[in-house]
Amino acid sequence: MLGPLSRYLRFMGYDAESANAYSEGDKKEDTVLLKRAFREDRLLLTKDRELASRGKEQAVLILDEDVIAQVRQLAREGLIEPELRLTRCSICNMNLRRATGEEIEHTGYAPGKRDGLTFFWCPNCQKLYWLGSHGKNLEKRIKKGQKES
């Protein structure tokens, strides 16, 4: 499954949904995914060669297991620009907005030192985002994928 790639794409600001809710290998579900990709003008990223073949230009066959190699492949094919953008929730794909002071305070996990940090909020998941050490490490991994593409 490409769940980790979906999360990385969301961290890069791309509207990315995961098919993790569907049964793996079910041809009927594959057809549903393909129809949705065509209807919504989405790219279907898959590791399934047969599904990629059926999807023609709407599908991209992902070749590697490593998520950074997958990012590198999409960048090399000109499909993404690997750069961290905190604009989408990594969990639900909803657009983030600037967090209010109240939202920051009530999460219970915001850092104590907040000088220079910008906070973002998912109105759906009620998850708080900021570019702390985890985000900076993620940014390094994304840039690594960009440099090696």
98 lies in the same domain as 79: no
In this prediction, residues 97-111 reach a mean pLDDT of: 93
Residues 143 and 78 in one domain: yes
Number of domains in the chain: 2
State the residue range of the domain holding 78. Answer: 1-85+133-149
Residues 115-143 pLDDT 10s:
889 999 999 999 999 998 888 888 888 87
Q: Are residues 7 and 68 part of one domain?
A: yes
Give the whole-angstrom CA distance, residue 37 versus residue 130.
31
Same domain membership, residue 141 and residue 97: no
Q: Are residues 45 and 70 in the same domain?
A: yes
21 shares its domain with 57: yes
pLDDT at 31: 85
Indicate whether 63 and 26 sit together in one domain.
yes
pLDDT for 28 equals 75
Assess whether 65 and 106 both reside in one domain: no
How high does pLDDT run on average in the chain? Answer: 89
State how beta strands 44-46 and 59-61 pair.
Answer: parallel
CB-CB contact of 115 with 38 (8 Å) = no
Select the more confidently predicted residue: 143 or 146.
143
- pLDDT tens-digit series, residues 68-81: 999 999 999 999 99
Q: How confident is the model at residue 11 (pLDDT cuts 50, 70, 90)?
A: very high
Q: How far apart are alpha carbons 50 and 25 in whole angstroms? A: 11
Same domain, 108 and 137: no
116 in the same domain as 80: no
The reported pLDDT for the residue numbered 66 is: 94
